[in-house]
Amino acid sequence: MAKNGDEHDEMKQHCFGTPGLWEERGVSRRDFLKFCTAMSAALALPVSLAPRIAEALESDSRPSVIWLEFQSCTGDTEALLRAANPTVGEIVLDVLSVDYAETIMAAAGHQAEEARLKTLKERSGKYIAVVEGAIPMKDNGVYCCVGGRSAVDIAREVCGGAMATITVGTCASYGGIPAASPNPTGAVGVKDAVPGATVINLPGCPVNTDNLVATVVHILTFGKLPATDSKGRPLFAYGKRIHDNCERRPHFDAGQYVEQWGDQAHRAGHCLYKMGCKGPETFHNCPTQRYNEKTNWPVGSGHGCAGCSEPHFWDTMTPFYRRLPNVPGFGVEATADKIGLGVAAATAAAFGIHGVVSALRKGDESDAGKEG
């Protein structure tokens, strides 16, 4: 008798636990446990903690979530929603009670704002705030208003009263693209706008949904935020340098570089260092966790790392297709080496002429000891 997968899973259910919340949502017990194990791996925890994660996710304390959207392109929401299949990760966010999220909530207008206020009041200090997009500070924050209130005003209220604020994407974390020079609206990240808030930064363009889910799972399981680096990013996801986990790294060490888009080396998957890859200075788990259900990541698909997850992204990481930034005060075509060579050549020329004049010049007297 050939049993198909579903029947097999059903058997397991009966063996390993009561069908609950997850089964109701169409997630088999097996997939659920697989997910818990994957989460323990993503969080760099021992596998033995997987049951604890499962336990935490099965309890029915649904933390409320308020998802705020400011100066953003909605890319992070998109990343979350556009997964090909409903993922377990999505359902974790479902398990959270998302009380307010402009893009996905059913309520609108004053009704929606009421929902937000209700959560704020009833669950003060217990809800999680998720922020997407930068917050403009200039001119009292008039450059981004929702329901007649400025972003910074809303953020102060919502993030200030939250158990924790998770910033999704680089804009909410550090200001990102809205904060790029000349930053006309005075955009900043949440931590700068609301210094008192407990913030965990998940920069990236967009945020990797897996990391968002893992952070939420960590909070649900341990009741506290995961350990972070000096830029407020969780170490489990941002603790390793891209360059050190990159599948093209052997080509870097070997000395095999792409010189031009589409050349032989590019097609052979060689290192993108010369094409401006910023991997040697960027921290994210893209090479291992990858995007869209582990399908791929930029360097994997042949484009250098743009450094999207670092503070001051854009201003310091451009030009994307050059290794070094432009030298301030010189035109864009002047590379560091051209300028350097110019300095050296000018020195050589100046002292060369000096040498000729000196050699022709007679009658210099030295007060040295030696006599000619």
Partner 1 sequence: MARNRSCLYEKYVWEVPVRLTHWVNVTAIIVLSVTGFYIGSPKTLGLVPADFVMGWVRVVHLTAGYAFAVSIASRIWWAFAGNRYAGWREFVPFVYPEGRRDMGRMFLYYLFLSRKVPHPTGHNALAGATYLLVFVLYLVMAGTGFALDAEHAPGGMMRVLLAPLYALFSNQGMRLTHHMGMWLLIAFAIHHIYSAWLMDVKERGGVMSSIFGGYKPVKRGE
Which of 239, 280 has the CB closer to ligand HEM? 280
Q: State which residue, 16 or 351, has the beta carbon closest to partner 1.
A: 351
Q: State which of positions 125-144 bind ligand SF4 (CB under 6 A).
A: none
Per CB under 8 A, does 280 bind partner 1?
Answer: yes
Instruction: For residue 66, give the H/E element and its range.
Output: strand 64-69
- How many angstroms from the chain centroid is the CA of residue 252? 24
Pick the closer one to ligand SF4 by CB: 167 or 309: 309
CA 159, distance to chain mean position in Å, is 19
- Neighbouring CB atoms inside 10 A of 83's CB total 14
User: In what helix (H) or strand (E) does residue 116 lie, and over which residues does it extend?
Assistant: helix 109-122
- How far is CA 258 from its chain centroid? 26
| Chosen from ligand HEM, ligand SF4, partner 1, none, partner binding at 279 (C-beta under 5 to 8 Å by type) | ligand SF4
Q: What is the distance, to the nearest Å, from the Cα of residue 78 to the centroid of all Cα atoms in its chain?
A: 15
Q: β-strands 187-188, 135-136: how paired?
A: antiparallel
Chain centroid to CA 305: how far? 12
Q: Could you tell me which residues are beta bridge partners of residue 284? A: none
Does position 63 interact with ligand HEM (CB under 6 A)? The reply is: no
- Retrieve residue 205's tokens: 């363009």
Pick one of ligand HEM, partner 1, ligand SF4, none as the site partner of residue 272 (Cβ within 5 to 8 A by kind). ligand SF4
Question: According to the binding rule CB under 8 A, does residue 333 interact with partner 1?
Answer: no
- CA nearest 184: which of 139, 152, 146? 139
Closest distance of CB 235 from partner 1, Å: 8
Coil, strand or helix: which one is 236?
helix
Q: Exposed, middle or buried by CB within 10 Å (0-12, 13-18, 19+), for 321?
A: middle
Q: Give whichever of 121 and 362 is closer to partner 1, judged by the CB atom.
A: 362
The Cα 81–Cα 133 span in angstroms is: 17
Give the footprint of ligand HEM on residues 251-280 (CB under 6 A): 280
Residue 271 labeled ligand binder: yes
Residue 290 binding ligand SF4, by CB under 6 A: no
Q: For residue 208, what are its two tokens? A: 């990797």
Neighbours of 270 (CB within 10 A): 22
Contacts with ligand HEM in 295-324 (CB under 6 A)? 324
Contact between 249 and ligand SF4 (CB under 6 A)? yes
For residue 324, the minimal CB distance to ligand HEM (Å) is 6
Q: Is 73 annotated as a binding residue?
A: yes
**Alpha carbons 37 and 25: distance in angstroms, whole number:** 19
H/E run at residue 132: strand 128-132
Query: Which two tokens mark 174?
Result: 């550090």
Identity of the residue, 8 or 267, whose beta carbon is nearer to ligand SF4 in the bound complex: 267
Residue 308 labeled ligand binder: yes
Question: Which x/- pattern over 177-216 shows residues binding partner 1 (rule: CB under 8 A)?
Answer: ----------------------------------------
Q: Is 246 flagged in the annotation as binding?
A: yes
Q: Which residues are annotated as a binding site?
A: 73, 171, 205, 243, 246, 271, 277, 286, 305, 308
Q: Which residues bind partner 1 (CB under 8 A)?
A: 229-230, 239, 241, 243-244, 250-257, 259, 265, 270, 273-274, 278, 280-281, 283, 307, 310, 312, 316-317, 323-325, 327, 336-337, 339-341, 343-344, 346-348, 351, 354-355, 357-358, 361, 363-372
Q: Which residues bind ligand HEM (CB under 6 A)?
A: 280, 324
Q: Which residues bind ligand SF4 (CB under 6 A)?
A: 242-243, 246, 248-249, 252, 271-273, 277, 279-280, 299, 304-305
